C-alpha cells in the first residue's frame, strides 16, 4: 500500500513539474526560436503588397553591399556604435568598480550612494528622459544667462554638445545595474578570506586588486560580455530623445534598425522587413563570434578565484 502511495505521489510530482515547465519551454520555442527562425527566413523573401512571397537572395546582397558602402550611412553608424560602446565601457567600468567597492566597504554615505546611483534604473525611462531633457534644454541655458548674461542653446539643440549630453545620460541611467551586481558579488566574499589578506598586509587597493576583483570576475565577465553582445543593437537612448528623427551624425546602428522597424510598422510597409531582417542577420554573424570570442578570452586570461 505504501509503495502504491509513493508511486502516486511521484507521478503527481512529475505531472506538476511538467506543467510548470511547459509554459516557459513553449514561450522559448515561440518567442525565441520561432521569431528568430522567421526572421532568418524573411531575409530570403520578398513580400509584395498582396502577400505574395518570392524566395530570393536580393535582400542579403543589398544589405551586404550597403553594410560596406559609405554612401548608405551604415558604416558610419556601425563605427559610431562601436566607438560609443567602447567609450561607455572605458568610463563605466572603473566607476562601477570604484563605487561598488566603496559600498561594499560600507564607507561614509555608502547606502545613500547605492540609492542615488540605482535610482535611474527603477524610474520610468520616459520620465527620466523628459526630466533630464527639460534640465539641459531649459534650466542650464537659463542658469548660464543669469551668470554670464548671454543666451546659449540647450545642450541637445547645440550640435557640438548633443552627443556628449546623450552619452552622459545613457551612462548615468545605466550605471546602477552593474554597480548593484558588483557590490552584491563583493558582499558574498567570505570575511575569512578578507581577514586573512589583512593579516598578510593587504589593505586598500591591494585588497581590491588581489581579493575582491578576482572573486567577482565571473560577474564582471558576464556584464562585460552582455555589453559586447549589444554593441550593434544598442540605440543608446536616442529614440527617447528624438523619436524617429535623430540627426544622422549621432545615429547608432541599433537606433537605425529600431527606427526603421517602427516607421515601417506604422506605415504598413511590410516589404521592408525583408531587408531589415537581412541586415540583422549580417550583424548577428559578426556579433556572435565577437561575443563568444570575448567570453572565451576573459575566461582563459582572467584572474583565478583560487
Q: What does the DSSP assignment read for 135-191?
A: IIIIIHHHHHHHHHS-----TTTSTTTHHHHHHHHHHHHTHHHHHHHHHHHHHTS-H
What pLDDT digit, counting tens, does each position of 113-129 carry?
777 777 777 777 778 88
CATH 3.40.50.300 fits 75-301, yes or no: no
What pLDDT digit, counting tens, does each position of 60-91 carry?
999 999 988 888 889 999 999 999 999 999 99
Helix (H, G, I), strand (E, B) or coil at 123: coil
How far, in Å, CA of 50 to CA of 70, rounded? 34
Ranges of each domain in the chain: 75-301
Residue 5 has a pLDDT of 64
What pLDDT digit, counting tens, does each position of 164-175 carry?
999 999 888 877
Percent of the chain surpassing pLDDT 90: 26
Q: What are the start-end ranges of the H helices in the chain?
A: 2-28, 35-42, 58-67, 74-104, 110-122, 125-134, 140-148, 162-173, 175-187, 191-199, 205-207, 213-215, 217-229, 238-242, 253-267, 272-301
Whether 277 has a pLDDT exceeding 70, the answer reads yes
Q: Which of 84-98, 166-180, 209-223 bottoms out in mean pLDDT, i.e. has the lowest?
A: 166-180
Contacts 24+ apart (CB under 8 A), 116-119: 117/175, 117/176, 117/179, 118/176, 118/177, 118/179, 118/180, 119/176
Amino acid at each position: 500500500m505504501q509503495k502504491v502511495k509513493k508511486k502516486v505521489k511521484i507521478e503527481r510530482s512529475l505531472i506538476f513539474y511538467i506543467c510548470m515547465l511547459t509554459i516557459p519551454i513553449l514561450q522559448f520555442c515561440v518567442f525565441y526560436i520561432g521569431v528568430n527562425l522567421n526572421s532568418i527566413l524573411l531575409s530570403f523573401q520578398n513580400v509584395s503588397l498582396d502577400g505574395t512571397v518570392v524566395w530570393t537572395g536580393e535582400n542579403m546582397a543589398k544589405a551586404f553591399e550597403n553594410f560596406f558602402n559609405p554612401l548608405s550611412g551604415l558604416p558610419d553608424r556601425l563605427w559610431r556604435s562601436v566607438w560609443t560602446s567602447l567609450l561607455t565601457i572605458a568610463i563605466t567600468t572603473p566607476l562601477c568598480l570604484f563605487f561598488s567597492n566603496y559600498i561594499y566597504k560600507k564607507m561614509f554615505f555608502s547606502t545613500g550612494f547605492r540609492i542615488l546611483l540605482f535610482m535611474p534604473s527603477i524610474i520610468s525611462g520616459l520620465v527620466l528622459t523628459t526630466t533630464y531633457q527639460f534640465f539641459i534644454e531649459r534650466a542650464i541655458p537659463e542658469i548660464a544667462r543669469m551668470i554670464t548674461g548671454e543666451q546659449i542653446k540647450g545642450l541637445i539643440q547645440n550640435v557640438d554638445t548633443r552627443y556628449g549630453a546623450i552619452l552622459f545620460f545613457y551612462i548615468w541611467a545605466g550605471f546602477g545595474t552593474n554597480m548593484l551586481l558588483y557590490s552584491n558579488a563583493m558582499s558574498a566574499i567570505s570575511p575569512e578570506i578578507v581577514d586573512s589578506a589583512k593579516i598578510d598586509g593587504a589593505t586598500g587597493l591591494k585588497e581590491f586588486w588581489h581579493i575582491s576583483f578576482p572573486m567577482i570576475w565571473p560577474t564582471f565577465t558576464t556584464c562585460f560580455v552582455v555589453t559586447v553582445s549589444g554593441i550593434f543593437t544598442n540605440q543608446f537612448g536616442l529614440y527617447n530623445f528624438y523619436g524617429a528623427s535623430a540627426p544622422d551624425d549621432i545615429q547608432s546602428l541599433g537606433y537605425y534598425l529600431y527606427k526603421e522597424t517602427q516607421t515601417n510598422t506604422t506605415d504598413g510597409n511590410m516589404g521592408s522587413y525583408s531587408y531589415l531582417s537581412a541586415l540583422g542577420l549580417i550583424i548577428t554573424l559578426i556579433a556572435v563570434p565577437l561575443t563568444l570570442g570575448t567570453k572565451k578570452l576573459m575566461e582563459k586570461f582572467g584572474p583565478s578565484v583560487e
